[in-house]
Structure 1
Amino acid sequence: MIDPKELWRTRLSAHMRETGRYLRLMLNDHLVFALFFFFVLFTYFYGQWLQDIPENFPGTILMAVVIGIFVTFTPLRTMLKEADLVFLLPTEHRLGTFFRNGLLYTYAATIYPVILVTALFAPLHFALYPDRPREMFIGFISALLIFKAWNLLSHWWELNSRNLYGEWVDRGIRYVLTTSSLFFILSNQWVFAAITTILLFAFMMYAYVQAKQNKGVAWDVLIEKEQARMQSFYRFANLFTDVPHLKQPVKKRAWITPIVKRGVSFKQSATYDYLFRITFARSDYLGLYMRLLFIGVALVAWAPNVWAKIVFALIFLYLSGFQMVPLWSHHEHLEWSSLYPITKEQKKAAIKRWLFQLLLVKTFLLSLAFLVGFHWVGIPIVWIAGAVISYVLVYLYLPRRIA
């Protein structure tokens, strides 16, 4: 007979070992140093900015919109495996404890980002409303804990109702209601806050009724979601280290493929020039490159002075270059790549050329953020410093990683 508590402990322990192993490899010295340096700088300039915050700054709207995203987003973790559809389905009526533990684990894992983001916005809140008592903000945090639980339960019932075509619609409704409630609470508009909170609770109960009509757990849906969640983690971990059992997604992305392969020679020696460019365009490397670019541009534009802008730009250039290094070994586990009549030195030269070009392009794009506030003097400094950092990463650091 299956013990649901023991089954959960076994699955959770295996999950923690698996993710912990990759997290230790991801949180290496280079990344930790860059993140710590970024955190110190951000904290300093954030405090400086709060001392001279504009009177018409929409801080309440910003807090509600951003915190609402973290409250609404509840990636469910059930620790289910593909074989469970066969071996555990007959014992579904005895697995209530197993699924409850999954909900509790999901809540505990996803409430930390909510608390961290709320703590990040706390100084902004007190700067906007210095006369409000601290107890009111504590009450706001209590509301966040409740709304997070409601969103989690709603998501659980949405999945089990198999209303997958409307999953994004349901999530959108929950986000609008959650964000509206948070905004009205922060604005002390208690009547409107009560109305939107009641609507959010009613929507949760509607999801409950829909799920009960199906009478049972949507095993196939939950297993598919769990597998997708782990593959997302593996794809992210693969940007730092090799993940042999990763299912590599390939996306056509016809809009950018002609751009990245432009200028590549048809000579045999340029085989890996073409392969690295296509791999970058059609895999997760492009998404990571663009995300770091957007975040970096936003922070450079926000930074209060030219030196802060320069530092933020160089930090994100460093992070981007460091996280492109695994592109070298992206095809290492595929036997067909070893059939190319290409020497290893030609392959090394190809990855160096491509990464150096990527970093130079990112340097230029980050420098455009200096146009906000017309900090012209920072643009040539970033170009020169960015070129130096790009050269050091590609021609001094990279050879030691791919030797």
Structure 2
Amino acid sequence: MKNLHDVWSRRLQKYVVEVQNYLKYVFTGHIAIVLLFAIGAAGYAYSEWVQSIPPGFPGAWLLAVIFGVLLAYSPPTTLLKEADAVYFLPLESKLDEFLNPALKWSFFSQLYLPVVAYVVSLPMVNALYGLDSALLVGLPILLLLLKWWNIQTEFSFRKAKAGHQAWLDRLVRFLAVLLFVNFYVEDRLIFAVLVLFVIIIYGRWVKQQAVGKPFAYGHFIALEENRMLRFYQFANYFTDVPHIKGKVKARSWLNWVYRFIKPGPKNAHFYLVWRTFIRSDELFYLWVRLTAIVMIGAWLIPFPVAVAIFSAALAFASAIQIWQGLNKTQHFRMDNLFPLTQFNREQAVWKLVLIVQTVQAALTALVLALAGVPLTALAALAVIILVSIITVSASKKNKKK
């Protein structure tokens, strides 16, 4: 390597290849269908809501909170490794050759969420405030500049404090962005300019605090390791990741479920798949999260068609991932000790998926019934169960082929 800039370039190439290798298992055809249905349902509900949005709706505050969170959360992506604390130490005076492109990558890699939020917010902003074109063009430019300011400020604060009280810095930047966006959207430009002046002063003060401070290798390496761990945990929901191991918990408070399984060789696989499902963090929490999301979505979405599409999409996601998770090849299972070849494990998984999806359907229907829409509740109940049955049936046929 000629310099640290070359080290960064090589490391970034390897990082991008690794992320792409895992993402191809995440965004498969199944997930694409789920996303298509979910985005379609959300878009339909949002367009209908915008047409009848109440005049007094606090749209400016909503946007301020959203952009405050998206911009204030700006952790630097440094791609540092544990060995760098030793090998980079003699090169600390030249470390900017590595960190400057790292901060630029952090900026561009975190832009997609603010951009999506801005594009989605335009119909609501126009309906509520009717901002002129000059303000609508100026807002995204200012948001991009604020994102870069957040990236630089968070990095400088972490360097100055070695990671201590990073939450306090984020809180300050969140409040600053919140006030600026709120004043700007409400066309109170004088106050927006004053807040922008405070933002500039704070950024310069934090940067000055970091001048001359030794680089906190330990903190930034730990930050990078935790970031990659979260990515691996996310990817592990869709494919096996060798970097992490799935966690298992007894969850004795759910032992009553096993009482409904009759003892005997015919139900041995059924008992084992239930134990696997309940004790596996990945599968159990996956189902709990998706069930909670479909219940909340059913409660908030005001249109029956959108509720049905949304419920179908998440029912598909739940069924396919539980089915694949319980049928994937494992190094060891309890039935390897007591071979039960004359009984069908796939049939046991089928029964489990049908039961848990029926529970998901019943909970969603209960939420809708409490909301006073019994017909929509019955429709959601039928849609979730039907989509789950079709999903598992199609998966079984594909596996046989």
Runs of 5+ in structure 1 lacking a partner?
A: none
The percentage of counterpart residues that share the same residue type is 23
Aligned to 2:391, which of 390, 393, 397? Answer: 393
Q: Does 1:224 align with 2:218?
A: no
Contact 1:367 1:382 in 2 (8 A): yes
Contact 2:323 2:350 in 1 (8 A): no
Q: How does 1:177-216 map to 2 (within 5 A)?
A: 177-212=176-211, 215-216=213-214
| 1:362–1:229 CA distance, 2 compared to 1 (3 A) | same
| 1:180–1:338 CA distance, 2 compared to 1 (3 A) | farther
Q: Shift in Å at residue 197 of structure 1?
A: 2.9
**Cα separation, 1, equivalents of 2:377 and 2:277:** 29
TM-score by length of 2: 0.86
The amino acid across from 1:9 in the alignment is: S
Q: Once the two structures are superposed, what CA deviation does each residue of 1:88-143 show, in whole Å capped at 9, x if it has no partner? A: 2222222312111010001001112111111011111011122x312112111122
**Cα separation, 2, equivalents of 1:373 and 1:275:** 35
Q: How does 1:1-400 map to 2 (within 5 A)?
A: 2-130=2-130, 132-212=131-211, 215-243=213-241, 245-248=242-245, 250=247, 257-265=251-259, 269=268, 270-279=271-280, 283-328=281-326, 332-333=330-331, 340-341=337-338, 343=340, 348-349=346-347, 351-371=349-369, 374-394=372-392, 396-397=394-395, 400=398
Contact 2:75 2:155 in 1 (8 A): no
Contact 1:242 1:329 in 2 (8 A): no
**Cα separation, 2, equivalents of 1:346 and 1:206:** 67
Contact 2:37 2:310 in 1 (8 A): no
**Cα separation, 2, equivalents of 1:274 and 1:41:** 35
**Cα separation, 2, equivalents of 1:200 and 1:288:** 40
The amino acid across from 2:383 in the alignment is: A
**Cα separation, 2, equivalents of 1:220 and 1:108:** 25
**Cα separation, 2, equivalents of 1:348 and 1:21:** 29
| 1:205–1:374 CA distance, 2 compared to 1 (3 A) | same
Q: Shift in Å at residue 291 of structure 1?
A: 4.2
How many residues are treated as equivalent by the alignment? 393
Relative CO higher for 1 or 2, CA cutoff 8 Å, sep ≥ 6? 2
Runs of 5+ in structure 2 lacking a partner?
A: none
Q: Shift in Å at residue 351 of structure 1?
A: 3.9
Q: Shift in Å at residue 144 of structure 1?
A: 0.7
| 1:217–1:2 CA distance, 2 compared to 1 (3 A) | farther
TM-score by length of 1: 0.86
Q: Shift in Å at residue 287 of structure 1?
A: 4.7
Q: Shift in Å at residue 276 of structure 1?
A: 2.5
| 1:275–1:36 CA distance, 2 compared to 1 (3 A) | closer
| 1:262–1:176 CA distance, 2 compared to 1 (3 A) | farther
Q: Shift in Å at residue 371 of structure 1?
A: 4.4
Contact 1:261 1:277 in 2 (8 A): no
